[in-house]
Amino acid sequence: MVEYLDETTKFNGIYLRRIREGETLYWIPDPQHYAKPGYYLPFELPLFYNPMMEINRDLSIIALATFLRVSDKEPEEITYIELLAGTGIRGFRVLNEVGLLNVIMNDINPKCVKFMHFNAKYFSPEIQSRATILNYEANHLLSSIRLWKKPIDAIDIDPFGTPTPFIDSAVRILKRRTGLLLITATDTSALIGKFPQSARRKYGVYTKITPFGGEIAIRTLIHYALNTATKYGIALKPLFGFFLMHFIKIALITIPGRRVADKFLWDRSGWIAIEDDKIHILGKPKNTPKGDLIGPIWLGPIYDEEFVNETLNIINKLPIDKKSKTKIETWLKAELKTALIPFYYNIELIASKLRRTTPRIKDVINELQKQGYIAERTHFHPKAIKTNASLEVIQKIVKKL
């Protein structure tokens, strides 16, 4: 959890408070000064800072630290762009907690840029020398960087709303081989199917509300990114994906080549049909999609075994919040065990339709494992499990318990 300290100051007419997030001390607009009862805190602040998104920033730290390990590079060999930096806390956390990467922090708001320069003075000369703070429109920055003729190792896209306006430009400047792309989306209502027209307009997907909204949302975002990269003969391989609170976070790595890009897009993406809480994976339907068909979405694994195992090896050494660390570690272990099993079953919903009391999720999992099935919890829903058992088997267990 973010720790609010007693130190306060004022900069450019903004009341500030010192905080500790992860292992990093930072100044933010003082919530105690600006907060109003009944209002959403980040929007009350003169510069946007959301303490609830600490776990999102933790995931960036984890992904970059793992990326360093698997790429076998020194921090100073890596260039990382925080495309929409806001207060800049993520970029300075990367420098302070991951290593002395070459970090570019960019924001279109000149107030944010001044604020990042103000905070920079409180860090060591080594960190200051590795931080480049810029004031560009995001796509203009990415287009300008192409002129450097030096591909970027890692890019973090974390907008308010959809990330789709920035993915194309980001893919074009990432290294074609082993470039890391981190994408956050906060327009979760569209991605889970609550607003189908919005989802189709932004992501090119036919979708609707289903019991599997969280996972369909991640698979939609992965497919959109992959489809974008394929235009340039680049595949994007998912490393992990999370649907947490009010945001989605995915990590992908680039693989060059038109053939592999085509294979990822055509062999691992497709359509699903939902019937009586069952998911039928169709691949490519012959007719125009309608009714309960959803797609196109990513149908391959969301979690990469090698990358996640390396994350699990180092996560306890990283200076992030202990509660966040425990949650992420637990989720990754469970998701890795069921990485080849698409979608999940909502036990609460199944019990409700059977007019039974919802059994303990732990008991359902134990019974499935006794019968020889793979069964684990999933972070997508607290009352859901991932398993290779059929719906009929689960219904029998729910009735029995």
Q: Three-class SS of residue 14?
A: strand
**pLDDT recorded at residue 141:** 95
CA atoms within 13 A on the CB side of 383: 12
For residues 385 and 397, give the distance between their C-alpha atoms in angstroms, rounded to a whole number.
Answer: 13
**pLDDT at residue 121 tops 60:** yes
How confident is the model over 88-97, as a mean pLDDT?
Answer: 98
Q: Residues 175-223: pLDDT tens digits?
A: 999 999 999 999 999 999 999 999 999 999 999 999 899 999 999 999 9
pLDDT at 124: 97
Residue 158 burial class via C-beta count within 10 angstroms: exposed 0-12, middle 13-18, buried 19 and up: buried
Q: Tell me the pLDDT tens digit for each residue of 243-289.
A: 997 899 999 999 999 999 998 888 899 999 888 778 888 877 666 45
**Cα(213)–Cα(210) distance, rounded to whole angstroms?**
6
Look at residue 376 and tell me whether its pLDDT is greater than 70. yes
- Average pLDDT of the chain is 93
Longest dimension (CA), the chain: 65
Residue 64 in this model has a pLDDT that exceeds 70: yes
> What is residue 120's predicted lDDT score, i.e. its pLDDT?
98
d(CA 76, CA 91): 15
Place of tokens 């470039």: 179
- Please tell me the predicted confidence (pLDDT) of residue 287: 60
Q: Is the pLDDT of residue 318 over 80?
A: yes
Higher confidence at residue 321 or residue 127? 127
How far from each other are the two terminal CA atoms of the chain, in whole angstroms?
Answer: 38
What's the whole-number mean pLDDT along residues 43-69? 93
pLDDT value of residue 135 = 97
- As a whole number, mean pLDDT of residues 373-389 equals 95
Residue 250, SS3 per DSSP: strand
pLDDT for res 291: 54
Average of per-residue pLDDT across 302-323 = 95
> Is the confidence at residue 52, as pLDDT, over 60?
yes
DSSP calls for 276-331: TTEEEEEES-SSPP-TTEEEEEE-S-SS-HHHHHHHHHHGGGS-S-HHHHHHHHHH
- Is the pTM above the cut of 0.75? yes
Helix (H, G, I), strand (E, B) or coil at 334: helix
Confidence of residue 42 (pLDDT cuts 50, 70, 90): confident
Q: Which DSSP string do the residues of 139-160 spell out, in sequence order?
A: HHHHHHHHTTT--BSEEEE--S
Does 151 score more than 90 pLDDT? no
Q: What is the mean pLDDT of residues 355-375?
A: 95
Q: How confident is the model at residue 111 (pLDDT cuts 50, 70, 90)?
A: very high
Question: Is residue 40 predicted with pLDDT exceeding 70?
Answer: no
Q: What is the pLDDT of residue 401?
A: 85
